[in-house]
């Protein structure tokens, strides 16, 4: 029997339909010589510390570090029934085709099962980029060998074991240190979550320490020979401006105002025009999609991922969502006509727009050299039903569709002109933009540059050196420097991805320039959600802020644990394992040694953790502690288990 092992039931049904496996079995679909079964995500999990010895059931500094000599996995209680089904099917299979998600985690989901069930038959790999019928048939015709993707399994195991070593050991360590300081809840530390939390803590610190200072702007309204008026800004002398070019002396700005007003004319002393071309933005990877959906639609990172997953799995409308790549294989250019046909069948209202698009235009997106295991998120070649999408699903889909269509539109072309003028003894500057070809910006406008001040996008009149312009009006504006803005989920995703910008060491910065950053496309949303659920991150509308406990935790943990650069280096090590240049055992041994040293150095620390003021227990009147349950955080009596009083988290909260 040939057994296809999928990651989710929906995925299994899609593949079974193409294979003709239509007879329902217990937890599977059966064909003539083929059976399709599925996991329910991860059926297995790394065993907890107590599985390695009863002494670990009690948290104690004396028992740290916990370093398993032989790693164990356990079947999740909720998935025991499906595990038994898969184990039985594996005992009858002669060939297994791994058909889980085409990524590191998908590889581990399948390979751990094969290993635990002692499967020894042949193995092949189905590598899918979309779940529509055409993509499945194409992937079935070019199955990968088992060895080609096996390193992904070791890379995922390395990630899992490193996370376990850091999470289990350091969470116990800092929780125990917190208890000494009177904090009753768990202080959770993680390889990815703690550096992510530090990003928010540092932004909060920058906002808290920011001191606003006044500055002054002088704008002159000019005109030339009856042509369209324009605005020029005063350039303060070098002795009277800060690094950003702002004038910090009101008297100096007032003098300039008086001089420009009295002069009545300004003379053009220099003029420079450059022709610029902006290529269309590339198709989305997941991080960029999350950033744009946060900014444009107000969606959280996890919300965006869930919607992208639904567009891929449920609607078959878009390709694999957890991609870290924004480029497309050159061979997929042959599918352009099929994609356009599907788009038109889905939405006939697109016909006028598609009529102005050149399908033969090949943008920079088509580049085999830059395609990773996955390609950019794009529409599929089969029409989906827009009417079955929710409003948010349709909005996200339309963003993905627009970024694909933009690849077939011309560059946005414009002339940028910078003029410098002299007025009395003062200098003025004006910047103008003359659009020559609207190009892709007629379809979408997605870049931060589109929010540029109107003075930089104004159209200047025809000017030349020596031309005199009339001073029609002059205004003095009193301004204040603004504090940095709180991070949104989209901002945090971007910071996690582009961690190299946050590293000061030039050698490390260079190494990290092309890294995946903190976490992966598949995990970043979950990390942020976990920090919110634990109460480390507080969300006010779109803004994220760190709780007082989070600030204390970041101050207490060793710098390396919270260092975004170090975490990204670990991610690079996982890539080395995936490439076969570093062994799983060597990586885990280094992590174990590092953890041992950290615990030896931190065991004597004294924490000062602010205790969140919760409500009073309704049963015994004792104070209550914030705890995390299966359905999220809640207030629990500090006398638990003697008293089992609880209160919903929405009641009695007094944030520190």
For Cα atoms 224, 227, 230, give the angle at the middle one, nearest 5 degrees: 70
Residue spans of alpha helices (H) in 93-145? 104-116, 133-140
Tokens of 370: 């830059």
CA distance 533 to 188: 12
Comparing CA positions, the residue from 91, 97, 86, 92 lying closest to residue 145 is 97
Q: Is 320 part of the annotated catalytic residue set?
A: yes
Residue 234 near residue 256, CB atoms below 8 Å = yes
> Is residue 422 within a helix (H) or strand (E), and if so which, with residue range?
strand 412-423
Q: How many residues does the chain have?
A: 656
Q: Which of 119, 320, 397, 404 is catalytic?
A: 320
Tokens 């615990």 -> residue = 599
580 Ramachandran zone, left/alpha/beta (phi>0; psi -120 to 50):
left
CA distance 436 to 581: 50
Burial 457-496 (b: 16+ CB within 10 A, else e): bbebbebeeebebebeebebeeeeeeeeebbbbbbbbbbb
Tokens of 101: 């998600």
Comparing CA positions, the residue from 328, 237, 249 lying closest to residue 282 is 328
Tokens of 367: 């580049």
Residue 401 near residue 443, CB atoms below 8 Å = no
Comparing CA positions, the residue from 451, 458, 357 lying closest to residue 414 is 458
Catalytic residues: 320
């Amino acid at each position: 029997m040939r057994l296809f092992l999928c990651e989710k039931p929906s995925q299994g049904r899609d593949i079974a339909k193409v294979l003709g496996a239509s007879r329902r079995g217990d937890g599977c679909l059966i064909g003539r010589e083929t059976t399709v079964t599925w996991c329910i995500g991860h059926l297995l999990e790394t065993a907890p510390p107590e599985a390695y010895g009863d002494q670990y059931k009690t948290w104690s500094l004396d028992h740290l570090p916990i370093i398993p000599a032989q790693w164990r996995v356990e079947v999740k209680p909720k998935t025991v029934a499906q595990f038994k089904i898969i184990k039985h099917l594996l005992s009858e299979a002669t060939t297994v085709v791994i058909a889980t998600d085409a990524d590191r985690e998908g590889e581990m989901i399948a390979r751990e099962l094969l290993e635990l069930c002692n499967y020894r038959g042949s193995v092949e790999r189905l590598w899918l980029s979309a779940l529509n019928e055409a993509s499945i048939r194409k992937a079935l015709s070019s199955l990968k060998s088992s060895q080609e993707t096996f390193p992904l399994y070791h890379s995922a195991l390395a990630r899992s074991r490193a996370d376990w070593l850091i999470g289990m050991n350091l969470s116990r360590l800092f929780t125990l240190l917190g208890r000494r300081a009177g904090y009753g809840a768990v202080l959770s530390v993680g390889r990815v979550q703690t550096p992510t939390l530090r990003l928010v803590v540092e932004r909060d610190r920058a906002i808290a320490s920011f001191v606003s200072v006044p500055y002054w702007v002088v704008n002159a309204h000019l005109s030339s020979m009856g042509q369209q008026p324009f605005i020029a800004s005063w350039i303060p002398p070098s002795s009277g401006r800060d690094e950003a070019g702002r004038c910090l002396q009101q008297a100096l700005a007032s003098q300039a105002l008086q001089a420009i007003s009295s002069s009545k004319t300004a003379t053009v002393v220099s003029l420079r025009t450059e022709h610029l071309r902006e290529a269309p933005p590339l198709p989305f990877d997941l991080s960029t999609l999350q950033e744009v959906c946060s900014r444009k639609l107000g969606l959280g990172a996890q919300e965006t991922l869930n919607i992208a997953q639904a567009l891929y799995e449920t609607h078959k409308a878009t390709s694999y969502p957890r991609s870290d790549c924004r480029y497309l294989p050159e061979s997929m250019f042959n599918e352009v006509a099929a994609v356009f046909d599907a788009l038109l069948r889905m939405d006939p209202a697109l016909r006028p727009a598609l009529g102005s698009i050149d399908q033969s235009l090949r943008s920079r997106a088509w580049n085999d050299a830059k395609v990773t295991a996955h390609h950019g998120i794009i529409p599929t070649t089969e029409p989906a039903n827009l009417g079955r999408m929710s409003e948010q699903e349709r909005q996200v889909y339309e963003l993905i569709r627009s970024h694909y269509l933009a690849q077939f539109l011309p560059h946005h072309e414009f002339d940028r002109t910078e003029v410098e003028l002299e007025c009395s003894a003062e200098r003025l500057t004006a910047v103008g933009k003359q659009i020559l070809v609207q190009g892709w910006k007629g379809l979408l406008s997605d870049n931060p540059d589109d929010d540029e001040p109107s003075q930089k996008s104004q159209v200047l009149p025809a000017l030349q050196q020596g031309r005199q312009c009339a001073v029609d009006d002059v205004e003095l504006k009193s301004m204040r420097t603004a504090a940095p803005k709180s991070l949104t989920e989209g901002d945090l995703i971007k910071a996690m991805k582009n961690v190299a910008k946050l590293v000061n060491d030039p050698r490390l910065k260079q190494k990290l320039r092309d890294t995946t950053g903190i976490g992966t496309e598949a995990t970043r949303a979950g990390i942020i959600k976990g920090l919110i659920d634990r109460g480390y991150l507080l969300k006010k509308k779109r803004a994220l802020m760190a709780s007082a406990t989070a600030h204390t935790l970041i101050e207490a943990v060793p710098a390396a644990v919270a260092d975004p650069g170090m975490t990204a280096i670990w991610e690079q090590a996982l890539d080395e394992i995936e490439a076969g240049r570093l062994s799983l055992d060597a990586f885990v041994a280094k992590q174990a040694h590092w953890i041992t040293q950290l615990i030896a150095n931190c065991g004597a620390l004294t924490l000062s953790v602010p205790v969140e003021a919760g409500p009073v227990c309704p049963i015994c009147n004792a104070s209550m502690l914030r705890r995390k349950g299966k359905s999220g955080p809640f207030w629990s009596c500090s006398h638990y288990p003697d008293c089992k009083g609880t209160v919903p988290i929405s009641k009695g909260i007094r944030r520190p």
